[in-house]
Chains A and B, each alone.
Chain A
Amino acid sequence: MLVEAGAWLDHRLGVGASIREAARHPVPRSSASWWYVFGSCTFAVMVLQFITGMCLATVYAPTADRAWQSLLYLNYNQPLGWFIRALHGWGSNFMIALVCIHLAQVFLFGAYKYPRELTWTAGVVLLLCTLGMAFTGQVLRFDQDAYWGLGIAAAIAGRTPLIGGRVVKIILGGPIIAGDTLSRFFTLHVFVIPAVLIAFVVLHLFLVLKLGINEWPMPGRIVRRETYLAEYHKMVTEDGEPFFPYAAQKDLVAIGLVIAALVVTAAIMGPIGPNGEPDPAIIQTVPRPDFFFLWLFSAFALLPPWTETFLMLTGPVVAIALLFAIPFISGTGEKSFRRRPMSVVLLVMTFMTIGILIYLGTYSPWSPHMEAWSGTPTPVDYVRGRTPLELQGAILIQAKQCRNCHSLGGRGGMRGPALDDTATRLTPNQIVRQILEGGGNMPAYGKNLSPAEVNALVAFLETMHPGDEPPARSSINPAVAPSY
């Protein structure tokens, strides 16, 4: 029955033979490895994203006044809505992770070299599409982070020379972040980027089939334009195996494991957000992007200000151009990572840089703790047995918001140095100068403190030294008491 139906269809479509041929195309025996499963896994998760995305679109309200409520409805009222949201949110994280592993593997194995340059190029487009989906998806999770994330995007775009203001309005769809902005990102996330994604996935897979799967790189086996195709042909005809089932079985196992892991993760971790309502009038907010853009957020905090505009605008362009250029820079030669030390170093350094920036971003030491001044207690040891003047200083440290940027006993902001051992580093005169004039990353407090208050602050800070370390003294005239 099934066979007959298949035959009936194939008689009209006539694609059976080519599908069979594609499935059984010979692959190098060495490439049926567990290292080669990540592309297929990414593809599988992408298909899941399409399915859960369509499910979400049946309930999500893509307008600025309703989107946030519809997310809450999905989380709490819609049967299994929480789980579909969890699958979609974690699916996005999985997909980014898999794309990165796939990219690293392809890079290490030299799979982008001749004749597979175009496959790599299409893959870079797919990477950009994935990141584009992640960013637009984060905007559709229309909460405070989404709102201020758009603000950050607008602020970066606004730095474009000459046309900055106009670029901002095109991105936002209007003069402010509002209904038109969400609709624009909805269109990108649901129509534009998926269309590009599908087109390039087709191209990517077509090229993989046409050019064959990359063989396991052997040190010393050099890629030459003149001979590679013949060598590869010889390899797969003499020592090849049919893709199905020889390589496909490992793909299938890996896909099954990844999907199971995704379902379990989603079930345990639950949906991601939304956090607070996207009401710009709620300014008690600490905007943070999702982890895959956290490293950019960190980089923007750490870049020296004079390089900032230039690097923000040109950095991504240069990085993307370099990614595209890799197969044209080194299209031939050694494939094995054992013979490409610089490539390995480059890859490790890139991943380490991004990893460290993400780690820094998770606790953002450069961000003041906006509630520390009123909400974080003073360590008891720092106020025990102190004079009234010193206690007055301890109160001022809190009341003047010093604690938002300076920690005491490990608690408080980390923007400035911890105050626990200030006295060992600065003499009283230096403390006064620093408070009144600021400097480094500190504002000048001169206008906002009375001399009596400065006096109290210095008295307190002078007690800030470990018991066995004396406070710093001026080397010029150590005997003279501070005067102000």
Chain B
Amino acid sequence: MNEAAKPLSRPALAQPSRRAFLLRLGLLFNAIAAILFAIPVLGYLMSPMRRYAWVSWISLGKIEDFPEHQTRLAIYRNPYTKPWDGKTANIPCWVRRESGAIFRVFAINCTHLGCPVRWFQESGLFMCPCHGGVFYSDGARASGPPPRGLYQYSHKLENGQLWIKAGQLPTLGEPLA
């Protein structure tokens, strides 16, 4: 097989014959076609990377629903969803109303590896069930492996409601605004 192929192909490539020209043309066409094919495929797969407007303002409910000096769990529907997302698009967050119009809204995700932190009112701490990260009531890191305090949503009070800017899973690479 090998011995038979070699003497045929070598001179064919060496001479500027019609056969060699066609072979090169064929390779060129295939290279172009492969690129034309690959660009849309990659674009399709990488599309989530492009910066869509994932994030928008959503209401967490009436301001009165959040008593002063308390931390409450609130659940919102992610602004960007597909009909088949089901419950996975219901995102929880912690709302702390310090007093009056002073709010803090924390992401549920621990800043270490994203596990859901839980609020303990009696000790005024958030604890993480995964590796024991602890945060104070203002979200600051208290102890354990987390590298920073809890992620906070930007928020505003409008029409008697608490609004947050939400829409994406916070990570160290892209914390919430």
- Residues of A with Cβ closer than 8 Å to B? 63-66, 147-148, 151-152, 154-160, 163-170, 172-181, 277-281, 283-287, 300-301, 303, 305, 308-309, 366-368, 370, 373, 399-402, 404-405, 413, 415, 438, 440-445, 447-448
Binds A, one of B6-14, B28-36, B58-66, B82-90: B82-90
Contact A176 B123 (CB under 8 A): no
Q: Which of B87, B120, B147, B173 contacts A305 (CB 8 A)?
A: B147
Q: Is the CB of A178 within 8 A of B88?
A: yes
Interface pair A279/B132, CB less than 8 Å apart: no
Of the candidates A160, A366, A444, the one whose C-beta lies within 8 Å of that of B173 is A160
Q: Compute how far the CA of A144 lies from the CA of B42 in the bound complex, rounded to whole angstroms.
A: 31
B169 A175 Cβ-Cβ under 8 A: yes
Which residue of chain A lies nearest to B171 when distances are taken between CB atoms in the complex? A158
The docked-state distance in angstroms from the alpha carbon of A177 to that of B82 is 12
Complex CA gap A163/B51 in Å reads 12
Bound form: Cα–Cα A154–B48 in Å: 14
Q: Are A368 and B87 in contact (CB under 8 A)?
A: no
**A444–B118 touching, CB < 8 Å:** no
CA A277 to CA B87, docked complex, whole Å: 9
Q: Is the CB of B134 within 8 A of A443?
A: yes
Question: Known contacts A151-B115, A178-B89, A448-B124: does B169 contact A168 (CB below 8 Å)?
Answer: yes
B21-49 interface bits toward A, Cβ cutoff 8 Å, 1 = contact, 0 = none? 00000000000000000000000011011
Assess the A177–B88 pair: CB atoms within 8 A.
yes
A148 touches B122 (CB 8 A): no
**Please, how many residues of chain B have a CB less than 8 angstroms from a CB on the other chain?**
56
A281-B87 in contact given A155-B109, A175-B169 (Cβ < 8 Å): yes
In the assembled complex, 16 residue pairs joining A and B whose CB atoms fall closer than 8 Å, in A order, are: A151-B115, A158-B173, A165-B171, A166-B49, A176-B168, A180-B48, A280-B87, A280-B88, A281-B87, A367-B130, A370-B127, A373-B120, A400-B123, A401-B122, A440-B143, A441-B132
In the assembled complex, B177 has its CB within 8 A of some CB on chain A: no
Q: Please tell me if the beta carbons of A279 and B90 are within 8 angstroms of each other in the complex.
A: yes
Q: Using known A-B contacts A155-B112, A168-B171, A280-B90, determine if residue A287 contacts B123 with beta carbons closer than 8 Å.
A: no
B7 to chain A, nearest CB (A): 26
Q: Do the beta carbons of B75 and A281 come within 8 Å of each other?
A: yes
Contacting residues, chain A, for B81 (C-beta < 8 A): 178
In-complex Cβ contact of B87 among A169, A174, A279, A438 (8 A): A279
How far, in whole Å, are A285 and B130 apart by their CA atoms in the complex?
10
B148-177, CB < 8 A from A = 167-169, 171-174
Complex interface: chain B residues within 8 A of A368 (CB): 127-129, 132
User: Which residues of chain A have C-beta atoms less than 8 A from B114's C-beta?
Assistant: 148, 151-152, 154-155
Q: Which residues of B contact A279 (CB under 8 A)?
A: 87-88, 90
Which residues on A sit within 8 Å (CB–CB) of B168? Answer: 169, 175-176
Contacts A168-B171, A176-B168, A443-B136 hold; do A300 and B113 have CB atoms under 8 A apart? yes
Residues of A within 8 A of B86 (CB): 63-66, 179
